[in-house]
Chains A and B, each alone.
Chain A
Amino acid sequence: MASIKLTNLWKHYGDVQAVRGINLDIGHNEFVALVGPSGCGKTTTLRMIAGLEDITGGEIEIGENVVNEVPPKDRDIAMVFQNYALYPHMSVYQNMSFGLKIRKTPKEEIDKRVQMAAEILNISELLERRPAQLSGGQRQRVAMGRAIVRDPVVFLFDEPLSNLDAKLRVQMRTEIKKIHQRVQTTVVYVTHDQVEAMTLADRIVVMNEGVIEQVGTPNEMYSSPKTHFVASFIGSPSMNFMNCQLAKTAGGLAVRLSDDLSLPVPEDRTARYAPYADKEMTFGIRPEHVTEKRPHANGAQQDIDANVNVLEPMGVDTMVFFNLGPTEICARAEPTSVSEVGETMGFTVSMDKMHLIDPSTGAVV
């Protein structure tokens, strides 16, 4: 139970700059997800918070205290490693009680806490087993149980679900959320899976190449990404991007995708985009905002026709790939309304959901 504050945090491994000056405030009992592609410095950041990695520059505060010089054993942090890192020579019970025993907790207290954590995680009947006798999912639970019993000030997770199969992963995701609701603690959760981050976290931190791209709630990240990277990283399937020219028209502005295809910019965005008129820009739109032809909800919708290239049925929706100007994009349509491959189909583009990116800076304008 503590807040965490990272100030201008740097980490070099020789010539490699793994973390390049990140600033982050994590609130008391907040669940924060660090998400980003592999190699972007998530694990390194987490390990610096835990004290397992020396800090090249900057400051880490945990609950008002600067902990740069505090060894891991005195930080009162529990971490769930990607590969679980159970003690193979100890039973599940011993694995879970080890940290408490080291800290000289009374025996009855240890027993009470282990039993309770085992109950939360549904592993009460496994307490006498060795890690080698457990399945992957069970080991995962033990690793979490070992963290829970400690009742630490901060929980760190490093891609805890990445070694589980898809079904178990979804199930454990829900359980982690439940556990956090029950065991209120500050959590920093590292993942490369944006769905995990979206579903679990109070706030998401998107990292790329050692820097933070954006921090925000899951909804903010989805609806108003600040950079091209965040726009492409959050959301599944990911956003469509097209090169375009922002053309001036009689009524205002239009996104010009090719000589014979222009989509007018909604009126309420005209002022915002005006400085970029006549410039080469990147137009971004999510698949769910390009649908089969629908009645218009407001003046911002635009209808277009195109030939269907590929269909990918997903049950609830069907993903339709077609060419918009020179680029192939993906639309999300009602399964009953799609045409056959090669045939023409009508689409409705919700231009009020569009994003415009300045390619020279990568910023969403």
Chain B
Amino acid sequence: MSSNEMTGMTTSSGEALQENRVPIWRLRKAAANYIALIPYLAFALFPFYIIAITSIKSKQEINNLGESPFWASGIAVENYTFLYTNTSFFEHWMVNTLIVTTVSTIISVTVGILAAYALARLKFRGVEMFGVAVFITYLVPQTLLFLPLVDVINLIDDFIPIRDTYWSLILTYPTFLIPFVTWLLMGYFRTIPVEVEECAYLDGCSRLGALFKVVLPMAIPGIICAILFSYTLSWNEFLYSLVFIQDEYAKTLSVGVFTELIRGDIYFWGSLMAACLLGTLPIVILYGFLMDYYTSGLTQGAIK
């Protein structure tokens, strides 16, 4: 009887909680969702884990087959110091990669935005064909495309010395970045209601004004996506970098690590892993910063 009175007043927090208990079936459903994620996580994160754990092992521990490869007995920094003292990892490779990636991303996204906007909005003859052509360029494998590009780079090198400098990469990366970015943004621009842009014209904007003040702000998620992908693609780029650059100081991360930390059949495992880990960090940080914008639906509420 007294408990009846209690529920009437709902003063005890314990009882209030009991009334709001999550039903079992809902918990089961949530558990099922998490369980479904496990195989994915195993594939996605396990290599990363091995990289991290190996990078903090000492040389002896790595070479000792008696030790478990999945666990480290302590934290050793020798692999990291090796990168600093014996290679150009921080001083050149990292810096080169940052410069090449940043500059080629800026170029590609800028050119891509303009091209994609034109292809999505302007109604000139053959615009469809042009869109398809952009996509086809993107499909040509890099492994074929580098052959003629070598010729082009050599030709330019006759006038301006760009071989063996990161300029050769800044010049060639946009060849695969621009088609990709254009294709991605073209789809995005098409989802922006044309009436919103027309409204900007009636409000007094020129075409360029409407692009900067209305269309681009609405396209931010698409542009962020383009930046992320373009950054990742050039950060990980290997082939052009391998072909165009032999000078150790001009190398990018992907090629520097591959050529300097693997000597014939000798693998500097610890340092290799440390380099891999450090090499992914800038990308992870970039994603962390931009992900919020990327996922927010900015075009919501424009129409209806």
Bound form: Cα–Cα A63–B26 in Å: 67
Which residue of B195, B205, B206, B213 contacts A85 across the interface (Cβ within 8 Å)? B195
With an 8 A cutoff between CB atoms, is A134 at the interface? Answer: yes
Evaluate whether A88 and B298 lie within 8 angstroms (CB atoms) in the complex, with A83-B304, A136-B304, A163-B304 already known.
yes
A71-118 at interface with B (beta carbon < 8 Å): 71-73, 75, 77-79, 81, 83-89, 98-99, 102-103
Question: How many A-B contacts at CB < 8 Å in the complex?
Answer: 87
By a CB distance below 8 angstroms, the chain B residues around A210 are none
Report yes or no: B195 in contact with A81, Cβ–Cβ below 8 A: yes
CB <8 Å contact, B201 and A88: no
Task: Please encode chain B, from 260 to 291, with 1 for each CB lying within 8 Å of some chain A CB and 0 for all others.
Answer: 00000000000000000000000000000000
**Complexed CA–CA distance, A102 and B195 (Å):** 18
Are A72 and B301 neighbours in the complex by a CB distance under 8 Å?
Answer: no
Interface contact B303-A85, CB-CB below 8 Å: yes
Contact B198 A72 (CB under 8 A): yes
B193 x A85 contact (CB < 8 A): yes
* Contacts of B185-205 to chain A: CB distance below 8 A: 193, 195-196, 198-205
Which residues of A have CB within 8 Å of B198?
50, 52, 72, 79, 81, 85
Q: A73 is contacted by which of B204, B217, B297 (Cβ under 8 Å)? A: B204
| Residue of B195, B196, B198, B202 ringed by the most chain A CB atoms within 10 A | B202
Which residue of chain A has its CB nearest to the CB of B214?
Answer: A87
Give the complex CA separation of A72 and B202 in angstroms. Answer: 5
In the bound complex, residues from chain A placing their C-beta under 8 Å from that of B213 are: 98
In the complex, A84 Cα to B304 Cα: how many Å? Answer: 6
- Nearest chain B CB to A118 CB, angstrom units: 17
Residue total for A at the interface (Cβ-Cβ under 8 A): 32
Question: By the criterion CB–CB under 8 Å, are A73 and B301 in contact?
Answer: no
Q: How far is the CB of A77 from chain B (nearest CB, A)?
A: 6
Task: For B209, give the chain A residue with the smallest CB separation.
Answer: A102
**Contact-residue bracket for chain B:** 20 to 34
The answer to whether the Cβ of B302 comes within 8 Å of any Cβ in the partner chain is yes
A102 & B205 in contact (Cβ 8 Å cutoff): yes
> Interface centre among A99, A130, A146, by most B CB within 10 Å?
A99
Interface string of A128-141 (1 = CB under 8 A from B): 00111110100100
Is A150 positioned at the interface, with any CB of B under 8 Å from its CB? yes
Interface pair A139/B304, CB less than 8 Å apart: yes
With contacts A73-B204, A73-B206, A103-B204 taken as known, whether A85 is within 8 angstroms of B301 at the C-beta atoms is: no
- Contact A77:B202 (CB < 8 A) given known A87-B196, A131-B301: yes
Inter-chain contacts of B184 with A (CB < 8 A): none
With A52-B198, A83-B195, A86-B196 as contacts: A150 and B303 at CB distance below 8 Å: no
Q: How far is the CA of A81 from the CA of B201 in the complex (A)?
A: 13
Q: Which of B196, B201, B298 contacts A72 (CB 8 A)?
A: B201
User: A81 to chain B: which residues have CB within 8 Å?
Assistant: 195, 198-199
B199 adjacent to A73 (CB under 8 Å): no
A88 touches B300 (CB 8 A): yes
Once the chains are docked, how many angstroms separate the CA of A78 from the CA of B202?
6
**A229 to B298 Cα, complex, angstroms:** 45
Shortest Cβ gap from A352 to chain B (Å): 47
Q: Would you call A139 and B301 a contact (CB within 8 A)? A: yes
- If A73-B206, A85-B193 touch, whether A132 touches B301 (CB-CB below 8 Å) is yes
Identify which of A88, A133, A150 contacts B218 (C-beta below 8 A).
A88
Please determine whether B301 and A86 come into contact, CB atoms closer than 8 angstroms: yes
Query: Within the complex, what minimum Cβ distance (angstroms) separates A136 from chain B?
Result: 6
Pairwise interchain contact B199-A85, C-beta atoms closer than 8 A: yes
Q: Across the interface, which residues of B come within 8 angstroms of A75, CB to CB?
A: 202
Give Cα A98 to B200, complex, Å. 8
Q: Is the CB of A85 within 8 A of B196?
A: yes
Min CB gap A93→B, angstroms: 14
* A78 CB contacts on chain B under 8 angstroms: 202
Q: Report the minimal beta-carbon distance from B235 to chain A, rounded to whole angstroms.
A: 29
Judge whether B299 is part of the interface by a CB distance below 8 angstroms: yes
A110 to B199, CA, bound (A): 18
A89 near B193 with CB under 8 A, answer: no
- Chain B residues near A84 (CB, 8 Å)? 302-304
| A133 to B209 alpha-carbon distance, docked (Å) | 26
**Closest Cβ–Cβ distance, residue B201 to chain A (whole Å):** 4
Q: Which residues of B contact A52 (CB under 8 A)?
A: 198, 201-202
User: A102 contacts B201, CB within 8 Å?
Assistant: no
Q: Is the CB of A89 within 8 A of B199?
A: no
Say how far B222's CB is from chain A's closest CB, in angstroms.
13
- Knowing A83-B303, A89-B217, A134-B301 touch, does A71 contact B203 (C-beta < 8 A)? no
The reply to whether A73 and B304 contact each other, CB–CB distance below 8 Å, is no
9 pairs, A vs B, C-beta closer than 8 Å: A51-B201, A72-B198, A72-B202, A79-B199, A81-B195, A83-B193, A85-B303, A86-B303, A132-B300
Sort A-B residue pairs by CB-CB distance and give the 3 closest, nearest first: A132-B301, A131-B301, A99-B203
Apart from A83-B193, A103-B204, what 12 extra A-B contacts exist at CB < 8 Å?
A: A79-B199, A83-B195, A83-B304, A85-B196, A86-B301, A87-B218, A88-B298, A89-B298, A98-B203, A99-B204, A139-B304, A146-B203
